[in-house]
Amino acid sequence: MEDVLVVGTGLIGTSVALALTARGVRVYLRDSDPASARIASSLGAGSVEEPSTTVDLAVVAVPPALVPDVLVRLQAEGVARHYTDVASVKARPQHEATALACDNARYVGGHPMAGSERSGPLTARADLFDGCNWVLTPTSDTGTETLNAAFELVAMCGAVPVLMEAAAHDRAVGLVSHAPHLVASLVAALLEPAEERLVSLAGSGVRDLTRTATADPDLWVDILGANALVVADLLEELSEGLDDAVMGLRCMGSTDEDKRSDGARVVADLLRRGQAGRARISAKHGTVPEQYDTVTVLIGDQPGELARLFTDTARAGVNVEEVYLEHSAGRMTGLVQLSVVRNLRKVLVTTLQNHGWRHR
Amino acid sequence: MEDVLVVGTGLIGTSVALALTARGVRVYLRDSDPASARIASSLGAGSVEEPSTTVDLAVVAVPPALVPDVLVRLQAEGVARHYTDVASVKARPQHEATALACDNARYVGGHPMAGSERSGPLTARADLFDGCNWVLTPTSDTGTETLNAAFELVAMCGAVPVLMEAAAHDRAVGLVSHAPHLVASLVAALLEPAEERLVSLAGSGVRDLTRTATADPDLWVDILGANALVVADLLEELSEGLDDAVMGLRCMGSTDEDKRSDGARVVADLLRRGQAGRARISAKHGTVPEQYDTVTVLIGDQPGELARLFTDTARAGVNVEEVYLEHSAGRMTGLVQLSVVRNLRKVLVTTLQNHGWRHR
């Protein structure tokens, strides 16, 4: 692949351009906002000149709702031999592009599963896609050369290609991203009108659960809109589970012994299904789920404590899979949770004890 | 306070006993399972002998449903001058104890806001409550000396006392703990029947959201049962928000332009209320919310990388408030998110750059 046109110089488009430029590809940049394209260019992402000949690949990196129109206009212009996009929803844009007489032989949909709460070219970086899943959604119309051009793009960005039908992709992101995002916002919304003394008891559980509620509402209205019916179906399924939970809890709150044990059975069943579903998410993406054990260590709240802890962890020769740090109220101390592969816990604990760490 | 009887030697009871023993208090241990009390005693938590005289305080550390009965029997025995408990739900046990003719002048309810997914005396530690909020729920009947005995207990455990009515406490834990716990389980349950290739796209968002779904279902049936009607009301409120979201999304999925923008307004409003609610949870418990900035650093996946990173972080003299580590699919690399107080971000970034770290 020698030359690529990137249309849309936001976070994703500029990061693609930076990755390709780093691999020696000649990259051309376009954006409806010329200032944005110039900023991306100044970061070393490519040139704002028009390409003098037909380029190998055009990457459409505009918001989902604009993809069909931009894609079809680029094809009419004949700017590239092959076309792809990076929108986070696939079926609806693909359907609309087809209705606008898109040349589907030369187009394959794509979605790099990376991103950030931030946006714009200044947040871009060449290694944004390092090790990420990059979904491609070819159809029976997609030409082999076009698909291979997309594979080359994915490889140059350091990502792992995953082939899926557009509808399956949209169900997947609905399930693991869009529906959970709305649920997090709904739970966080319960906190909005609550009294301060109630909210002040919030701990790490609800904080983790509502983390994504901090994201930009406008961006998410676009994303949810493009996958609206899939997300609506998922939330309806969730709503049935919620109705069961409410019914079970009301029974548990009754004075009738039989009713209480019926309710407890319903709630226990929900919790068990949740436990089973959670067990299906691996700690490392894309690898077989492993069994991890957690070691919780008490640290002082000054610079250097974490360094000292991780130096001692490295001494044990143990690889930490996940780290979670939590501070305590009113105290200059914190708890660090270290996840390690199950059979390495003992080694780590012994080493930490020998170095005087307090753990459990 | 010279001597204390701890009844129930699970995680909480044994941790209380360890903390008091460390402060020189003579602690007596009881458990319906004598083996559990002996284990706690062997850890240095106190004695399994019967107290020879009336002790200053009895701490009832049994499951919520058993508190009223145990409390009233201890009072009939006349074992202590003052009584408290540590159950995570307060109104119902308090109400039931009163019905059993509990001497409310000598009893005050308590709930230390600490815990773990683990249980049993072996997971206990003297500093479990260090810096935690410890809610106390006195009534107009509570004697001043009894309340002062509870304050002394809280102080000796290193915790921060918070006075609340029992009903307000139960609403608070329903809002920040019990209802979110069930929601996390319901979202995780959606993953249970899903195809593997859909689940395989799960990232850190849904993983954080469903973290608590790993906890023991039996324990949580007890907790939810004791606060059933409060949690049911909260979930019904959530259910209304969910219905609005589904309605909004269905409108957004329609072909009618007006309907679409109506739907978008509804969804945007939900997301904005979520953002406002989330903003009310401070990053450190019990302190004034601060503004944090995140620096994301790319690291290799071998022992020593985190140590090297935190050594360099310490060199910058910057205190890391939160750490989150995420591994990439199919790659031996990971991303570490470091949260630091806003005005320290620049210092940290410069230092990390000077030491060759790749960050954004």
List chain B residues with CB under 8 Å of A14: none
Q: In this predicted structure, what is the pLDDT of residue B203? A: 78
- pLDDT (mean) for A244-261: 96
Select B170-278's CATH number: 3.90.180.10, 3.30.499.10, 1.10.3660.10, 3.20.19.10: 1.10.3660.10
Q: String of b and e for A331-358 (b: at least 16 CB within 10 Å)?
A: bebbbbbbbbbeebbeebbebbeeeebe
Between helices B91-99 and B67-77, what is the axis angle to 10°?
Answer: 40
Please name the residues between 24 and 43 in chain B that touch chain A, using a CB distance below 8 Å: none
Q: By mean pLDDT, which of A78-87, A282-291, B11-20, B294-303 is the weakest?
A: A282-291
DSSP letter at B104 equals G
Q: What are phi and psi of B139, to 5 degrees?
A: -115, 180
CB contact under 8 A, A225 and B260: yes
Tokens of B150: 């509870």
Please name the residues between 184 and 213 in chain B that touch chain A, using a CB distance below 8 Å: 184-192, 194-203, 205-213
pLDDT at residue A284 is higher than 60: no
- pLDDT (mean) for B18-28: 96
- B29 contacts: CB under 8 Å, gap ≥ 6: B5, B6, B9, B13, B17, B37, B40, B41, B45, B46, B47, B48
Q: Is B257 near chain A, with CB under 8 Å?
A: no
Contact (CB, 8 A) for B133 and B107: no
pLDDT at residue B117 is higher than 60: no
CB contact under 8 A, A184 and B209: yes
Gap between the Cα atoms of B84 and B350, Å rounded:
53
What pTM did the predictor assign? 0.73
Kindly report, as residue ranges, where domains of CATH 3.40.50.720 are found in chain B: 3-164
> Which residue does chain A place closest to B233, by CA atoms?
A246
pLDDT band at A331 (very low <50, low <70, confident <90, very high): very low
Q: Is B276 near chain A, with CB under 8 Å?
A: yes
CB contact under 8 A, A214 and B270: no
Kindly report, as residue ranges, where domains of CATH 3.30.70.260 are found in chain A: 292-359
* B319 to chain A, closest Cα gap in Å: 5
Q: In this prediction, what percent of chain A has a pLDDT beyond 90?
A: 59
DSSP letter at B211 equals G
How are beta strands A292-300 and A333-341 bridged, if at all? antiparallel
> Which residue does chain A place closest to B261, by CA atoms?
A225
**Helix runs in A109-216, H state only:** 144-156, 166-173, 179-191, 196-199, 204-209
Gap between the Cα atoms of A141 and A165, Å rounded:
13
pLDDT at residue B145 is higher than 60: yes
CB contact under 8 A, B250 and A228: yes
What value does the CA radius of gyration of chain B take, rounded to a whole number of Å? Answer: 25
pLDDT band at A148 (very low <50, low <70, confident <90, very high): very high
- CA-nearest of A162, A215, A158, A212 to A184 is A212
Q: In this predicted structure, what is the pLDDT of residue A25? A: 97
- CA-nearest of B99, B8, B4 to B55 is B4
ipTM of the complex: 0.73
- For residue A275, give the nearest of B164, B217, B328 by CB distance: B217
Residue pairs between chains A and B whose CB atoms are closer than 8 Å:
465
Q: In this predicted structure, what is the pLDDT of residue B137? A: 96
Higher pLDDT, A186 or B127: A186
Q: In this predicted structure, what is the pLDDT of residue A340? A: 78
User: Could you tell me the fold of the domain covering A3-165?
Assistant: Rossmann fold (3.40.50)
Q: Is B342 near chain A, with CB under 8 Å?
A: no
How are beta strands B358-359 and A3-7 bridged, if at all? unpaired
List chain A residues with CB under 8 Å of B279: 214
Please name the residues between 99 and 128 in chain B that touch chain A, using a CB distance below 8 Å: 113, 116, 118, 123, 125, 127
Q: In this predicted structure, what is the pLDDT of residue B326? A: 61
Tokens of A312: 């001692």
User: Could you tell me the fold of the domain covering B3-164?
Assistant: Rossmann fold (3.40.50)
Gap between the Cα atoms of A27 and A18, Å rounded:
9
Between helices A179-191 and B257-278, what is the axis angle to 10°?
Answer: 50
DSSP string, B318-360: PPP-EEEEEEPTTSSEEEEEEEEEGGGHHHHHHHHHHTT-EE-
- pLDDT (mean) for B159-165: 92
Kindly report, as residue ranges, where domains of CATH 1.10.3660.10 are found in chain B: 170-278
Q: In this predicted structure, what is the pLDDT of residue B115? A: 61
pLDDT band at A347 (very low <50, low <70, confident <90, very high): confident
Gap between the Cα atoms of B70 and B93, Å rounded:
11
Gap between the Cα atoms of B194 and A135, Å rounded:
18
Gap between the Cα atoms of A318 and B326, Å rounded:
17
* A348 sits in which H/E element: helix A345-354
pLDDT at residue A265 is higher than 70: yes
Instruction: Report how far apart, in Å, the C-alpha atoms of B267 and of each of A248, B249, B251 are.
Output: 29, 7, 10
User: Could you give the strand order of the β-sheet that contains B80-85, starting from the edge strand earlier in sequence?
Assistant: B26-30, B3-7, B55-60, B80-85, B107-112, B133-137, B160-163
- pLDDT (mean) for B272-298: 71
Kindly report, as residue ranges, where domains of CATH 3.40.50.720 are found in chain A: 3-165
Q: By mean pLDDT, which of A36-40, A327-331, A341-345 is the weakest?
A: A327-331
Q: What is the pLDDT of residues A39-68, one digit of tens each?
A: 889 989 999 999 999 999 999 999 888 999
Q: In this predicted structure, what is the pLDDT of residue B119? A: 55
- For residue B277, give the nearest of A189, A249, A296 by CB distance: A189
* B207 sits in which H/E element: helix B204-209
* B103 to chain A, closest Cα gap in Å: 24
Q: In this predicted structure, what is the pLDDT of residue A120? A: 62
Determine the CATH number of domain B292-359.
Answer: 3.30.70.260
